[in-house]
Amino acid sequence: MSAPPATGEVHGDPAPDSPSWWQWNAGLGRRFTVGAEEEVMLLDPADHSLAERSDAVLARLTDRLGTHLSPETHASVVELSSGVHLSALGVGLELAALRRRLAAELAAMGMVAAGAAMHPFSPQTGATVSAAPRYRRLASSMRWLMQRAPTMALHVHVGVPDPEDAVRGLNRLREHIPVLLALSANSPFSDGRDTGFSSTRTLTFDAFPRTGPPRAYPSYAAYVEAVDPLIALGAIPDTSFLWWDVRLQPRLGTVEVRAMDAQTTPRDSAALTALVQSLVRLELEGSALGSPTAPEVLEENRFLAARYGTEARLLDPRQSRRVPVRRLVQELLEACRPHATALGCAAELEHVSLLAARNGAARQRAWMSRPGRAAILPTLANRFTGLDKVAGGPTSPAERSI
């Protein structure tokens, strides 16, 4: 996400021997600003295989797009980043415009882009690492793990000017990881085979260290105390190397949700962004939705969400039952609607119901079941901008609106 405008204001006056990484950027000084990052796959239009050319792409971008595009772990992936907005509506509009611009510039380079959390036919190993220094450094540490098939995610940042509020937001967003993962699941295939999972990305990415749900922290000081040894002793250079499902970004002053699969259409990305933004406002200004979940239950529900997507039935020990994800989604939407209205993203939030009915994984399975199963990749590419005709007809007018 693009850094918020500098204000010179950070929370906390560190002691002379204290680390500086933890100083909290108050950003715009207002709660619930929002931005998003989308990891996007590059494809060769001849056969829709992964095009490992991100370095060439980044070198040829126009200034109009270059500030919003950056390298990613693998040479076949780039990251689109929105600016900071007051509402998920603005994020959705900007991401759609950025996708259209990227598609146009890639066409001039003989490439296309697509949105999904894994390439359906990509081999499970043998991928090329990006030449960016950050990822070369990772490759020297992660070795074989960096050769795995590329995974793509949607990351949503919500601005929280006070770090203690941010920790509360982190703790509460942990509870929603399984539902967010189930809704966003968009990677049922790997190496041309149905893995049986709705989010194969989750299982693949979990091979990395410092992934999965973070633990809850009683205060920001406790968070700093837990993380600082990793930085001070050289295990990681900064907090961006913590790849938890939800993490704090002191440099940006945000709580960042990272649990979600990359989405095929800009409208789906906007809907999930609206849900995250509304959830943060709900949890910080409304009544908390339930009590903390035991780590063992949260881990199991996360697995069930990755496995079954919106068909999952999650564990609810408090009531000694299992609850369908779709029921939980409807309860969340009811609780979030007043907050979405206040934030100006009510229409984007309502699209979450369509994801609950048929998320990206379900759509991919339907496309793969048709004759000529390789047509799934042109379909993914054609839906990237949200404007193009796809198998089964053009996108809806509502989808064209963003």
Query: Is residue 202 a part of any domain in this protein?
Result: yes
Is residue 172 one of the residues assigned to a domain? Answer: yes
pLDDT at position 147 is 75
Please report whether residue 133 resides in a domain: yes
The structure's pTM equals 0.90
pLDDT the model gives residue 140: 66
Residues constituting the chain: 402
Task: Provide the pLDDT for residue 287.
Answer: 75
Return the pLDDT at 250. 95
Spacing of C-alpha 268 from chain mean position:
12
Range of the structural domain that residue 29 is part of: 10-400
Specify the pLDDT at position 84.
Answer: 95
The CATH number assigned to the domain holding 281 equals 3.30.590.20
Domains of the chain: total: 1
pLDDT the model gives residue 177: 98
Read off the amino acid at residue 226: A
Which pLDDT belongs to residue 395? Answer: 43
Q: Is residue 5 part of a domain?
A: no
Assess if residue 347 is contained within a domain.
yes
78 part of a folded domain: yes
Residue 4 lies in a domain: no
Query: For residue 144, what pLDDT is reported?
Result: 66
Contact (CB, 8 A) for 187 and 118:
yes
In which residue ranges of the chain is pLDDT below 70? 1-19, 126, 132, 139-141, 144, 288, 388-402
First to last CA, the chain: 19
**Residue 346 falls within a domain, yes or no?**
yes
Question: Crossing angle, helix 177-184 and helix 325-343, to 10 degrees?
Answer: 100
Q: What is the pLDDT of residue 62?
A: 85
Q: Please say whether the beta carbons of 109 and 57 come within 8 A.
A: yes
User: Distance between CA atoms of 297 and 219, rounded to whole angstroms?
Assistant: 23
